Amino acid sequence: AIRMTQSPSSFSASTGDRVTITCRASQGISSYLAWYQQKPGKAPNLLIYAASTLQNGVPSRFSGSGSGTDFTLTISCLQSEDFATYYCQQYYNYPGTFGQGTKVEIK
């Protein structure tokens, strides 16, 4: 199975900060990568697919980049509603493994 490793596992940030989360695949996955946001007690919500395509309705402050094995999720100007846990997932093959998650907390 392809292993997905996110970094960092958690960090604190302030409203207005630019933040970047990294996801690394144990083998090449082309651009078959999605990013999800999850808030406590809620289902995940799709932010980005195909590594860099913004899902309809997702604010433009979210962006994704990368291909092959290294990917990033960037939030250009952190808002209060963005404090959550973020997951990457590869869908290059099955099992469709997730990263372990990155929790973004309020500083």
The site for another protein (CB under 8 A) is made up of 1, 32, 34, 36, 38, 42-46, 49-50, 55, 87, 89, 91-101
Query: Between 32 and 71, whose beta carbon lies closer to another protein?
Result: 32
In angstroms, give the least distance from the CB of 88 to another protein. Answer: 10
Question: Are 103 and 8 spatial neighbours (Cβ–Cβ below 8 Å)?
Answer: no
31-58 exposure pattern, b = at least 16 Cβ within 10 A, e = fewer: bbbbbbbeeeeeebeebbbebbebeeeb
CB of 68 or CB of 101, closer to another protein: 101
**In terms of CB distance, is 15 or 28 closer to another protein?**
28
d(CA 1, CA 4): 10
Count the Cβ atoms, other than its own, within 10 Å of residue 12: 11
Closest distance of CB 92 from another protein, Å = 7
- In the bound complex, what is the minimum distance in angstroms from residue 3's beta carbon to another protein? 13
